[in-house]
Chains A and B, each alone.
Chain A
Amino acid sequence: MADLKVKLGKLQLKNPVMTASGTFGYGTEYSDFFDISRIGCIVVKGITLRNREGNAYPRMAETPSGMLNAVGLQNRGIDHFIKHIYPEIKNVNTNIFVNVNGSTVEEYIEVAEKVNDLDKIPGIELNISCPNVKEGGMAFGVSCPAAATVVREVRKVYSKELMVKLSPNVTSITEIARVVEGEGADSISLINTLLGMAIDAESRKPMLSTITGGLSGPAIKPVALRMVWQVAQEVKIPIVGMGGIMNARDAIEFFLAGASAVQIGTANFIDPTVSMKVLEGIEDYLNRHKFNSIYDIIGTMTI
């Protein structure tokens, strides 16, 4: 049996299959379907300092091999999470990361400080890449100085695993990755959604209330793979790859490109048990090719 354990910074995951923020609720939404403690790490829905109502309906459009969303970080705020959701999920026997968002650096800092006090949350995913909010979000992830500032300031107050989620909506993904690594991130996750849009030709109106939104699903997988591979050449910290993973074969491609772990996102909507199928498929692949460990395939694409 191949060893599936991977390390993100100092943190060990029992396996490299994670679920992506915004596609897995707080985990418990999926517990009717399978034992969610089998997941290597659950990243919960993005959380901000205060309650956010998110964007107006419609927030979703189906597109070829994917979907656009414009949820806009709807959530009840960090205090609500700590009081009402954390007690419900803290005893799930796996790693749970909080996806941290802000409109300002101060908001990121404040949320990160509060999460730092939660014993059963071993890490955060710093989201500097949400394309669906007017202030903050992606603005921090598309400029090197802004990315540097927010990572540096959060690093000062956050002592556990700090993963930074990058936006693909940049000219050079490697520049941002280097900056984020330089400011003390323990790992990098990518990619967040690609900015896109859809128009209803009959009504001549945009399909989303916000006109533009974030594209996810298999449509973006080639872009995601390319970016994971490019970043893997440039940084030493572990990379968590995501973007359109629908099955184990997709996940394997991300490992070969240099990812140490993967996140399953949009696929959870279509098959709520897909993360377990991916996990089993990775194990099969390693056994079939007689690899002892997941590390035997990370970054091993041969050119």
Chain B
Amino acid sequence: MKKFILDLIVKENEHINEDYFVLKLTSNDKLPHMLPGQFVEIKVENSPTTFLRRPISVNFYDKELNELWLLIQIVGNGTRKLSKVQVGDTLNLILPLGNTFSIPGDKNSRLLLVGGGVGFAPMLFLGAYLNDLGYRCDFLLGGRSEANMVQLNEFKRYGEVYTTTEDGSMGEKGYVTQHSLLQKKQFDMIYTCGPTPMMQAVASYAHKRNIACEVSLENMMACGFGTCLCCVTDTVDGNLCVCTEGPVFNITKLKWQI
């Protein structure tokens, strides 16, 4: 897909809580087409300690409204600066970057989308996308506590939502892989994005039951389009760039000990 460098307009900056916010961006021109799993590289202005762009997953893309959503967790100076943008401000983005998830041929496939922390971001877009294509999906979302459980109302539009929190403040207590849903229901395909230990646990669950599984990695990167070679992950085909060969990988390609 052709990549663009665009100045997009902030339409909304919705602060969910003190850690998470959603930027809704638009443009006077038609936004480029985006697929679930893809990401953008966003330039952070006037943040002296932020040198590189920040790679952010596409949270939602609304073709009709010409809107791009980015769900962002405040983790450092760069994301803190981004959290302060005002409606009407412009942000410079490189997009769309990376690959997408694979979609099974059978519309009756039982699909599970597992998100953890800010890894919820691509799962919403993927769920919406699958829904549009006529697939049904279940969402299994986990976080440390209730504060991490964001966008649940949006998720509910596209499927059943199951939740876990480590402290038990919402849903079942524990990790996503401990949720009772996994005992009750069979799945044909699992997609996941979240902290690496969580994705590895999900991958291990899938691998042991012979369920196809794709994970979306978020390695640190400098460029986002395959030239710095910093974001590699070790695969059966050698070191591959997460930004161009990923961020979505089938677990059979990764050298995870699962």
Q: Which of B40-89 contact A (CB under 8 A)?
A: 43, 49-53
Known: A33-B5, A54-B239, A63-B51. A269 touches B232 (CB 8 A): no
Classify chain B: how many residues form its interface, as a range. 20 to 34
- Scoring A33, A61, A269 by chain B CB atoms within 10 A of each residue's CB, the highest score goes to A269
Interface of B, helix, strand, loop or mixed by DSSP? loop
Q: Can you name the residue of chain B whose Cβ is closest to the Cβ of A60?
A: B230
Expressed in whole angstroms, the Cα–Cα distance for A54 and B5 within the complex equals 29
Cβ–Cβ < 8 Å partners of A59 in chain B: 229-232
B223 contacts A by Cβ under 8 Å: yes
- B51 lies within 8 A of A217 (CB): yes
- B229 lies within 8 A of A269 (CB): no
Q: How far is the CB of A25 from chain B (nearest CB, A)?
A: 4
Number of A-B contacts (CB under 8 A): 87
Expressed in whole angstroms, the Cα–Cα distance for A89 and B120 within the complex equals 40
Known: A29-B225, A57-B219. A62 touches B52 (CB 8 A): yes
Cβ–Cβ < 8 Å partners of B224 in chain A: 269
- B225 lies within 8 A of A53 (CB): no
Which of these, B51, B225, B232, contacts A62 with CB under 8 Å?
B51
Which of these, A61, A63, A272, contacts B225 with CB under 8 Å?
A272
- A269 lies within 8 A of B228 (CB): yes
Tell me the count of chain A residues lying within 8 A, CB to CB, of chain B: 35
B159 contacts A by Cβ under 8 Å: no
Q: How far is the CB of A50 from chain B (nearest CB, A)?
A: 13
Q: How far is the CB of A198 from chain B (nearest CB, A)?
A: 12
Known: A53-B238, A53-B239, A57-B233. A270 touches B51 (CB 8 A): yes
Known: A25-B227, A69-B230, A270-B43. A58 touches B220 (CB 8 A): yes
Known: A54-B239, A57-B219, A58-B220. A270 touches B229 (CB 8 A): no
B4 contacts A by Cβ under 8 Å: yes
- A57 lies within 8 A of B227 (CB): no
A202 contacts B by Cβ under 8 Å: no
B167 contacts A by Cβ under 8 Å: no
Q: Can you name the residue of chain A whose Cβ is closest to the Cβ of B239?
A: A53
- A32 lies within 8 A of B4 (CB): yes
Expressed in whole angstroms, the Cα–Cα distance for A69 and B230 within the complex equals 7
Residues of A within 8 A of B (CB): 22-25, 29-30, 32-33, 45, 51, 53-54, 56-67, 69, 71, 74, 217, 266, 268-273
